[in-house]
Structure 1
Amino acid sequence: MPEGWQWDETLFAGSAAHYARGRLPYAPGFAEALAGALGLDGGGRLLDVGCGPGVVLLDIARFFDEAVGVDPDPDMLAEARRQAARRGAGNVRLVAARAEELPAGLGEFTVVVFAQSFHWTDRERVAALVLGMLEPGGALVHVSELQDPPAAPAPPPSPPYEEMAALVRRWLGPVRRAGRGTLVDGTPGGEDLVFAGAGFEHAGRLVVPAGQVVERTADDLVAWTFSRSASAPHLFGDRREDFERDLRALLLRAAPEGRFAERLPPTEAVIWRRPPTR
């Protein structure tokens, strides 16, 4: 886990309702590209660890016999269930559990996915647990937005993310909040070393290009703010409405018409495999 931080159930409290609207989608065609890279044929089992509201889980569930999403946040799982029902995804199963509680009797999997969730876990422990849940030759996929190099700027006005972050700091303090604790040293990196140390073999890197310019409204950016652990609704307590009023005023100053432009970043998937039985 991030240095000096302990998980608690408030990490994303109140954020699930804002996730679908606030977060940018992954690159168009990502699910199909990943299925091709992994050679998926509609069989096998998928495990999405830290599935949240099911964004990745529901996009790639169709390439498996069964897709299991695990998350400790009941609101995130409730949102995932709603979305699964809306899509008619009858092969999706959702389980309330922390990654550290795996294998939780869930059995063996063909593919395990972490989509921007691995850094919230006890990484060495969870990597070892997941290795034991994969069938021989099975794949672990670490999914993230590719930020280097940064996407070309979109036509103005762009979302004023730096000013929005400064406003959050004025309300919540200079150190990033995370549940009841703080992230003094920020989000940890070095996932490659963790996976290699657990016994995985590196099997490739998939980058799915994007770059499309999408329109974002003030409502979208308010939802984005509340979808993040560092500015989850519960952190503002009974001052949430006052914070939102200040946030909307900032957005109105940046774009009086309430519309912004943003360019989708590419999606990166780093693929690791459990060594085949020798």
Structure 2
Amino acid sequence: MGWIWDPSLYAGSAEYYARGRISYPVALADALAAELGLDGSGRLLDVGCGPGSLTLVLAGHFREVTGIDADPGMVAEAARRADAAGVGHARWMHLRAEELPAGLGRFELVTFAQSFHWLDRPRVAATVRDMLTGDGVCAHVHAETTHGTTSPEPLPHPRPPHAEIGELVREYLGPVRRAGQGQLPDGTPAGESEIYRAAGFTGPGRVEVPGRVVTRVADDVVAGVYSLSSSAPHLFGDHRARFEADLRQLLHRASPDGLFSEQTSTIAVDLWRR
């Protein structure tokens, strides 16, 4: 891919991630609880948990929750958000997925939400399979939380100008997608189904949650830009203040009152079993 893991991938992004990404709806947790018969007695492991975006939505359906992430800032932000939400049965670990099982035991549910593509996928999938209970499930969440759809349906406010924002980022960072200290000219890898099957999983079953309309303010959109590995704050160096000024001017032209709406896409969750 022209890129290998390095700790700067999301450096400085943690404080922007939860605000900048479109949140997972409670309906997602409810759908998984109904499909899997979650009754509050099991254990959840969220791999690549970030600031707890999915972990905290699911936490109420489990007795014990563990989130791991390779970025220490993300782990700290997840702990802060859990404290603010009064979630006391979660633990957060600065840990790469490749270090699993790390003595963590077995889980009824292991989740990957926009994290699997960053990992040594065959190795992690095989390890996670052995960390599931006999009837445990691995859930791979397909969701677009960085922007909504381009459908023509009218919305209450203008859509964020994502194409123009992308052009602005390229003006500052160059035409090839950045990722930490390296680049991803071909994007991140796909084909996860073959990886899961090769690791011994069966399936997948699928749960889907329909999209919804969300309204955001300009600060949310700015945070969303900084939440991306391809435009993490540190990548702009001494030009960050100028970039953000240009970004905010672009947003003001798109919506002078600073309000934006988006239609989110359907969230699909593939459920893989031992």
* Alignment TM class, shorter chain as reference: over 0.9
User: Are the aligned partners of 1:26 and 1:266 in contact in 2 as well (CA < 8 Å)?
Assistant: no
1:146 shift after superposition: 6.1
Unpaired runs of at least 5, structure 2 = none
User: Are the aligned partners of 2:42 and 2:108 in contact in 1 as well (CA < 8 Å)?
Assistant: yes
The equivalent residue for 1:199 is 200
The equivalent residue for 1:128 is 126
The alignment partner of 1:113 has SS state of strand
Q: 1:146 to 1:248 in 2, by over 3 A?
A: closer
CA–CA distance in 2 between the matches of 1:74 and 1:101?
15
The equivalent residue for 1:210 is 211
Q: Where in structure 2 are the equivalents of 1:1-278 lying within 5 Å?
A: 3-145=1-143, 150=149, 152-153=151-152, 154-155=154-155, 156-211=157-212, 213-274=213-274
User: Are the aligned partners of 2:149 and 2:262 in contact in 1 as well (CA < 8 Å)?
Assistant: no
CA–CA distance in 2 between the matches of 1:31 and 1:136?
22
CA–CA distance in 2 between the matches of 1:109 and 1:127?
14
The alignment partner of 1:124 has SS state of helix
Q: Which sits farther off after the overlay, 133-142 or 45-54?
A: 133-142
User: Are the aligned partners of 1:27 and 1:265 in contact in 2 as well (CA < 8 Å)?
Assistant: no
CA–CA distance in 2 between the matches of 1:152 and 1:214?
14
Give, as a single letter, the amino acid of the residue that structure 2 aligns with 1:215. Answer: T
CA–CA distance in 1 between the matches of 2:84 and 2:259?
28
The alignment partner of 2:5 has SS state of coil
CA–CA distance in 2 between the matches of 1:168 and 1:63?
39
- Over aligned residue pairs, what C-alpha RMSD do you find? 1.6
1:26 shift after superposition: 2.1
The alignment partner of 2:54 has SS state of helix
User: Are the aligned partners of 2:113 and 2:142 in contact in 1 as well (CA < 8 Å)?
Assistant: yes
1:264 shift after superposition: 2.3
The alignment partner of 1:35 has SS state of helix
User: Are the aligned partners of 1:67 and 1:92 in contact in 2 as well (CA < 8 Å)?
Assistant: yes
1:195 shift after superposition: 0.4
Q: 1:146 to 1:253 in 2, by over 3 A?
A: closer
Per-residue deviation, residues 139-176 of structure 1 (Å, max 9, x unmatched) = 000012169x9563442521100000011011101111
Unpaired runs of at least 5, structure 1 = none
Q: 1:125 to 1:31 in 2, by over 3 A?
A: same
CA–CA distance in 2 between the matches of 1:269 and 1:174?
32
1:106 shift after superposition: 0.8
CA–CA distance in 1 between the matches of 2:167 and 2:204?
40
User: Are the aligned partners of 1:146 and 1:265 in contact in 2 as well (CA < 8 Å)?
Assistant: yes
Give the TM-score normalised by the residue count of structure 1.
0.93
CA–CA distance in 2 between the matches of 1:87 and 1:258?
28
Per-residue deviation, residues 37-95 of structure 1 (Å, max 9, x unmatched) = 11111112110000000011111111111110000111111111011111221110111
